[in-house]
Structure 1
Amino acid sequence: MQQQRQTTRHDFTRVQAIGFGGLVGIGAGIVVSAFRLSIEQLLKLMQAMYGWLGGHPMWLLPWAILLVLVAIFIGHLVKRTSMIKGSGIPQIEGQLAGELDYPWWPVLWKKFVGGILGIGSGLFLGREGPSIQLGGTVAQGMAERFNFDGRRRRLLIAGGAAAGLSAAFNAPIASTLFILEEVYHSFSTLVWITSLTSAVVADFISSEVFGLTPVLHIAYQHALPLKYYGLLLILGVGLGLLGVVYQWGTLNGGKLYAKLTWLPAHLNGIIPFLLVIPIGLFWPETLGGGNQMIVSFAQHTPLLVPLIGYFVLRLVFSMISYGSGLPGGIFLPILTLGALLGAVGARSFVLLGWLPAAFIANFMIYAMAGYFAGISKAPFTAILLITEMVGSLQHLLPLAVVAIVAYITVDVLGGAPIYEALLEKLVTPADPDAHGLTDRVEYPVGGDSPLVERQVRDIKWPQGALLVGVQRGERQVIPHGDTLLRAGDILIILTYQHNRAYVRQQMRRLDA
């Protein structure tokens, strides 16, 4: 009897994902580390310059003219390439959703140069959103080089985005989760493998440049005793209320500029570039995204009234800076505002006799997570991000309490995820009649979704879309009319490549 030989097939898809993720992490790590280093050096130069100008006021007029010329130059870049405007996270989210696209090289160099000049000049803008776009754009260029399209291209872009945030914050786990939770909205195996690999490699490169000290290394004396947890509920509600205020100001900043100024939209940056001069002269420690300010205030916290003043200053000028359309993000400014609110809350509790002063730094840490969780509607990322950035696991429980309370408060008040809301302002309605190359959309079914326990035949699927698979745990179900959808399912929908945005929009409406 002849023995039949069976050949074993090896699937190298995940190994390839790790390999390409590593390449993307190297490219994004180098670019974003150079971006971050340039901003830090320019910001130090600006702070020293304002110290010198304080003793030589006759040079203020030439300095103002120079800043106006810088603003005009950046405005010219924005006018020529509109996709470098603002944070960059909505642009990457739009690319991954199929709602917009752009050529990679003009965006890469113009975002790099414009971001350094805008953020490094001391405006209240963050480097993290631009870093995510830079990383994603580096990956887009690699995908073009490898002739990748469709899903493989999106995998690289997601990995590049995670690498960009990881290099900016030295937080690879939180960076991966942020891309999965807030940007790509997909937890498929290939996505997280590619993103995590890219993030770890980029973090290694960034750590070689900036060292291993966490970005927001805050020294604290004790873990918060359970008897003070009731104060966390008050803090969370306050963060949620002021989070809605920040959302409204950020989303409507452009409209306010259009009503209040006669400048063309691409030259709105002149206003924050002029307003930053008195800020630099009187409060140079506040310049930039705010990470230096957070660490400094955690060690030597000002009294209550100055803290309120710092918060109002940063809240208003953050909105002015971002609303101008300059290349720069809101990620770090949100964390800075949260830290200030935590200090304000803690100082208030100390004055009332409800909290010992030793726990002020703790409340700053908790409030950063709560404010970001409420505004971005990404609580898991907020908790893990602050844990990695601070460099301690002792805060997980109070971080979770504040993040959940702030999240629920914003949700009850009707606040939308800030990056999704910003994306909606960028894109035009999708075309349901698109045609051409086919692609697939992966859509998760949540536990509270109205799609749960419904048969496939009873659902009015979007035009031009075909449900071809249901990923259920580790196995894939081939659907038919009687198939019942369950919580946790990932729907695999086939459609035209340019119809992805329309299908995703319609699925959100079905899921509402």
Structure 2
Amino acid sequence: MSCFRLLIQQSLGYWIDLYRLAHLNHWWFVLIVAILFVIGAINAVLVKQQPHIMGSGIPEVETQLSGHLAMKWWAILWRKFVGGVLAIGAGLFLGREGPSIQLGSSVGQGFAERLHEHGTNKRVLISAGAASGLSAAFNAPIAGTFFVLEEIYHNFSPLVWMTSLTGALAANFISSNFFGLTPVLHLDYANNFPLALYGHLLALGVLLGILGIIYQQILLKLPELYARLVKLPRFLDGFVPILLVIPIGYLWPQTLGGGNSLILSLADHQPAALIVLGLFVLRFVFSMISYGSGLPGGIFLPILTLGALIGDLYGVVMVNLGLLPRELVINLVIFAMAGYFAGIGKAPFTAILLITEMVGTLEHLMPLAVVSLTAYLVVDLLDGAPIYESLAEKMQKEQLTLKQTGRQDRIEIPVFEGSSFIDQQVRDIAWPDNTLLISIHRGEHELIPHGDTEIQAGDTLIVSTDHNQRLTVKMRLEKLSHLASD
């Protein structure tokens, strides 16, 4: 994953130089067009051969962990690597983090298959690989681990937690040897945000939540929009952003890429409000075009970049109105990155930890949490769903009618406070067909259940079912568990 990140970084630098040379000699411009057509053709072939390398790859990882998507790890690994380096490195508004997660999960799957692991052990290794991928992409091992638990695995299994953390720490150690110990987004902001101005954090969180819902709704409709407007075979849609990036690179080469350099530039130079608004519109529209095309690339860093621009724009407007000191604008840039991701991904813990690790300071956890939780609550009140889970549902629904294989697999169902399972005896629960409750994890103890065993809050139910019925059974049990609180 470190090589993936390094090649993208170096490639983007070469492309920026090429666009600058194109201003001096038109033959460089011809070369740019020719190379981009070759990149488009290569990615079209790769996507046609293996459609599951399209996009970020996180929905594929979620669906694979549900047991309803079987992928050949090597076919995914090398195609995602090559396609991602070419597309993201060419300056499209795509992130390397989602692809890094899928690359890591593919490595984990390959390792599991080498060890002849199946079922739970295989899924744990895939999860650990995913955490390692995000850790290497951002030098953020804790956030990488929490992302797997909060966004992909959806429970805090100790086995997943410890294995993922171990892999993430190892990946971070290797990545640090490539890129050094400086945080990915090392922004200097020495001023603490005053408690008297926390009203701005609430207002910013509300704004981020509303814009987060808009982002979710547009992103989920992108495949339909491409089918309706572009009318090309799906594997050729990548040519659309590859052609559109040419004028952007020629006119504004400094805006190319996922947005890491743009975020850092906001600390050195404060653009006028209209320029920030223009950058936000440009990045919002073209990131949608880039991701909707299906080219290998994610939305992780583009979301953080859009959040930074929203925070910067809000801060500049408040400064111009005399409601905020100018030196606090950079604080809002950082808080808004966490808030926008927390709203869109509905993963506030990951958002807070991610920005903390990326910026490299623990001094501002309180305002980060206020903005993140406010944005999360606004999205929740507006019926927004986690974006990666929503993207995965389309694939999962196609897998609900799979035939039984005869191979048993395990499901872990956490019993949260408010669940309808609490204080019920095992015999009183309407368990789905073809399932067996084989054990209950209660703290450090494992109980062998019988009919009159009472389920308590905090328990983890270990259920056995057919491998191909995992998702169906899990969804039914989660629905049963939530009936009392609905």
Measured against the shorter chain, the TM-score band is: over 0.9
Q: How many residues are matched?
A: 481
1:465 is matched with which residue: 408, 428, 435? 435
1:325-344 alignment runs, 5 A limit: 325-344=294-313
CA distance in 1, matches of 2:71, 2:92: 27
CA distance in 2, matches of 1:408, 1:148: 40
Residue 418 of structure 2 aligns with which residue?
A: 448
- Output one character per residue of 1:434-465: Cα deviation in whole Å (capped at 9) or x when no partner: 23111100011222333333333332222211
CA distance in 2, matches of 1:262, 1:324: 12
Aligned: 1:361 with 2:330: yes
Aligned: 1:160 with 2:116: no
**Per-residue deviation at 1:363?**
0.4
1:476 is matched with which residue: 435, 446, 452? 446
2:384 is matched with which residue: 406, 415, 424? 415
1:71 is matched with which residue: 26, 40, 51? 40
- Output one character per residue of 1:246-275: Cα deviation in whole Å (capped at 9) or x when no partner: 111111111100000121111101010011
Residue 236 of structure 1 aligns with which residue?
A: 205
CA distance in 2, matches of 1:130, 1:172: 16
1:437 is matched with which residue: 386, 404, 407? 407
104-113 or 431-440: which moved more? 431-440
2:401 partner amino acid: D
CA distance in 2, matches of 1:138, 1:485: 37
**TM-score, normalised with respect to structure 1:** 0.91
Residue 485 of structure 1 aligns with which residue?
A: 455
1:41-52 alignment runs, 5 A limit: 41-52=10-21
2:408 partner amino acid: T
Q: Quick check: 1:218–1:299 contact (8 Å CA) kept in 2?
A: no
- Output one character per residue of 1:268-325: Cα deviation in whole Å (capped at 9) or x when no partner: 0101001111111122111111111101112212111110110111111111100000
**Per-residue deviation at 1:56?**
2.5
Residue 214 of structure 1 aligns with which residue?
A: 183
1:361 partner amino acid: I
Residue 464 of structure 2 aligns with which residue?
A: 494
**Per-residue deviation at 1:89?**
1.0
SS in 1 for 2:413: strand
Aligned: 1:144 with 2:91: no
Q: Which runs of 5+ in 2 are unaligned?
A: none
200-209 or 474-483: which moved more? 474-483
Residue 310 of structure 1 aligns with which residue?
A: 279
SS in 2 for 1:493: strand
CA distance in 2, matches of 1:494, 1:212: 44
1:179 is matched with which residue: 124, 148, 164? 148
CA distance in 2, matches of 1:118, 1:485: 50
Q: Quick check: 1:373–1:406 contact (8 Å CA) kept in 2?
A: yes
- Output one character per residue of 1:351-383: Cα deviation in whole Å (capped at 9) or x when no partner: 121110000110011001100000011100100
Identity of aligned residues (%): 56
49-58 or 156-165: which moved more? 49-58
Q: Which runs of 5+ in 1 are unaligned?
A: 1-31
Q: Quick check: 2:84–2:96 contact (8 Å CA) kept in 1?
A: yes
Aligned: 1:503 with 2:479: no
CA distance in 1, matches of 2:22, 2:139: 34
**Per-residue deviation at 1:145?**
1.0
CA distance in 2, matches of 1:426, 1:324: 17
Q: Quick check: 2:339–2:376 contact (8 Å CA) kept in 1?
A: yes
**Per-residue deviation at 1:330?**
0.6
SS in 2 for 1:495: strand
SS in 2 for 1:131: helix
SS in 2 for 1:482: coil
SS in 2 for 1:385: helix
Residue 223 of structure 1 aligns with which residue?
A: 192
**Per-residue deviation at 1:62?**
4.7
Change (3 A) 1:56 1:451: farther
Residue 139 of structure 2 aligns with which residue?
A: 170
SS in 1 for 2:420: coil
2:262 is matched with which residue: 282, 286, 293? 293
SS in 2 for 1:486: coil
Aligned: 1:381 with 2:347: no
In angstroms, what is the RMSD of aligned CA positions?
Answer: 1.4
1:257 partner amino acid: Y
Residue 10 of structure 1 aligns with which residue?
A: none
2:58 is matched with which residue: 69, 89, 99? 89
Residue 217 of structure 2 aligns with which residue?
A: 248
477-486 or 388-397: which moved more? 477-486
Aligned: 1:274 with 2:243: yes
1:116 is matched with which residue: 68, 85, 88? 85
